[in-house]
Structure 1
Amino acid sequence: MNFTQFLLILRARRAIILLTLAATVAVTVVVSLLLPKTYKATSSILLNYKGVDPVTGLAMPGQLMPGYVATQIDIITSKTVALHVVDQLKLAQNTDVIEQFRQDTGGKGTVRDWLADLLLKKLEAVPSRESSVVEISFKGAEPQFVAAIANAFADEYQKLTVQLKVDPMKKATTYFNEQSKQLRDTLEAAQSRLSKYQQDNGIVSLDNRLDVENNRLNELSAQLVVAQAQQMEANSRRSYASGKAGDSPDVAGNPLIQSMRASVSASESKLAEVGQRLGRNHPQYLAAKAEADQLRASLNAQIRSTASSVGNNAEILGQREAALRAALAEQKTRVLEVNRTRDELNVLQKDVESAQRAYDATAQRLSQTRIEGQSEQSDVAVLNPAVAPIEPAGPRVLLNTVLSLFLGGLLGMGFGLVAELLDRRVRSTGDLADLAGVPVLGNIAWYPPKPRSRLATLLMPRRLRLT
Structure 2
Amino acid sequence: MSINQILSILWRRLWLVLIGLVATVVGAAVVLAVVPPRYEAKATASIDTARADPVTGDSSASSARGLMGGLMALIESQRIATDVVRRLNLTSDPQLTQQYLASGASGQLGINEWIAQSINKNVDAKSMDGTNVIEIHYRSPSPIQAALVANTYLASFEDAVLDLKVSAAQQTAAWLEPQLEKMRADLEASRDKLTKFQRDTQLLAPGAGGDTDISPLLSTGTDLSSAKAQLLTLQSQLAAIDSGQGASTSLLDSPVLTSLKSSMASVASDLGRLRTELGANNPKVQALLATQKSLQEQMSVELGTIRRTASMRMKALQDQINTLQGNYSDQYGKMINVQAQRDQLASLQREVAFRQEQLDVASKNAASAKMQGQLSFSNITTLDNATPPTSPTFPKIPLVAGLALGAGLGLGVIFALIAEALDRRIRVVNDLNYSTDVPLLGVIAKVRRKAIRRSKDKGFSLSLPSAQR
TM-score by length of 1: 0.68
Alpha carbons of structure 1 residues 320 and 41: separation in structure 2 relative to 1, 3 Å: same
- Indicate if the aligned counterparts of 1:213 and 1:331 stay in contact, CA closer than 8 A: no
Paired letter, 1:19:
I
Corresponding residue for residue 429 of structure 2: 429
Q: Aligned to 1:343, what secondary structure does the other structure show? A: helix
Corresponding residue for residue 195 of structure 1: 195
In structure 2, how many angstroms separate the alpha carbons of the residues matched to 1:447 and 1:160?
85
- Indicate if the aligned counterparts of 1:231 and 1:321 stay in contact, CA closer than 8 A: no
Give the drift of 1:31: 4.8
Corresponding residue for residue 279 of structure 1: none
Aligned pairs (5 A) from 1:42-53:
42-48=42-48, 50=50
In structure 2, how many angstroms separate the alpha carbons of the residues matched to 1:227 and 1:324?
9
Q: Aligned to 1:44, what secondary structure does the other structure show? A: strand
Q: Aligned to 1:57, what secondary structure does the other structure show? A: coil
- Indicate if the aligned counterparts of 1:125 and 1:135 stay in contact, CA closer than 8 A: yes
In structure 1, how many angstroms separate the alpha carbons of the residues matched to 2:333 and 2:22?
119
Paired letter, 1:406:
G
Give the drift of 1:214: 1.3
In structure 2, how many angstroms separate the alpha carbons of the residues matched to 1:310 and 1:173?
85
Alpha carbons of structure 1 residues 436 and 223: separation in structure 2 relative to 1, 3 Å: closer
Aligned pairs (5 A) from 1:313-324:
324=324
Corresponding residue for residue 350 of structure 1: 350
In structure 2, how many angstroms separate the alpha carbons of the residues matched to 1:329 and 1:98?
98
Are 1:398 and 2:416 matched, yes or no?
no
Aligned pairs (5 A) from 1:43-442:
43-48=43-48, 50=50, 55-59=56-60, 61-64=62-65, 69=68, 72-105=71-104, 107-108=106-107, 109-173=109-173, 176-177=176-177, 179-224=179-224, 324-369=324-369, 371-372=371-372, 375=375, 377-393=377-393, 395-442=395-442
Corresponding residue for residue 300 of structure 1: none
In structure 2, how many angstroms separate the alpha carbons of the residues matched to 1:31 and 1:308?
141
In structure 1, how many angstroms separate the alpha carbons of the residues matched to 2:53 and 2:368?
12
Alpha carbons of structure 1 residues 28 and 328: separation in structure 2 relative to 1, 3 Å: closer
Alpha carbons of structure 1 residues 398 and 310: separation in structure 2 relative to 1, 3 Å: closer
Corresponding residue for residue 13 of structure 1: 13
In structure 1, how many angstroms separate the alpha carbons of the residues matched to 2:187 and 2:28?
81
Q: Deviations along 1:191-211, whole A, 9 cap, x unmatched? A: 332222111111134534221
User: What is the root-mean-square deviation in Å for CA atoms of aligned residues?
Assistant: 4.4
Alpha carbons of structure 1 residues 7 and 94: separation in structure 2 relative to 1, 3 Å: same
Q: Deviations along 1:48-98, whole A, 9 cap, x unmatched? A: 454965653334554235xx6555444322333211211121211344532
- Indicate if the aligned counterparts of 2:40 and 2:146 stay in contact, CA closer than 8 A: yes
Alpha carbons of structure 1 residues 251 and 159: separation in structure 2 relative to 1, 3 Å: same
- Indicate if the aligned counterparts of 2:41 and 2:138 stay in contact, CA closer than 8 A: yes
Aligned length: 393
Give the drift of 1:151: 0.6
Give the drift of 1:150: 0.3
Alpha carbons of structure 1 residues 101 and 336: separation in structure 2 relative to 1, 3 Å: closer
- Indicate if the aligned counterparts of 2:205 and 2:345 stay in contact, CA closer than 8 A: no
In structure 1, how many angstroms separate the alpha carbons of the residues matched to 2:61 and 2:19?
63
- Indicate if the aligned counterparts of 2:49 and 2:61 stay in contact, CA closer than 8 A: no
Give the drift of 1:102: 2.0
Give the drift of 1:385: 0.7
Corresponding residue for residue 298 of structure 1: none
Paired letter, 2:396:
R
Query: After alignment, is 425-434 or 202-211 more displaced?
Result: 202-211
Give the drift of 1:413: 1.7
Give the drift of 1:367: 4.6
Alpha carbons of structure 1 residues 3 and 70: separation in structure 2 relative to 1, 3 Å: farther
Paired letter, 2:74:
I
Paired letter, 1:110:
G
| Unpaired runs of at least 5, structure 1 | 241-246, 254-306, 451-465
- Indicate if the aligned counterparts of 2:203 and 2:342 stay in contact, CA closer than 8 A: no
Paired letter, 1:444:
I
Identity of aligned residues (%): 26
TM-score by length of 2: 0.67
In structure 2, how many angstroms separate the alpha carbons of the residues matched to 1:342 and 1:447?
132
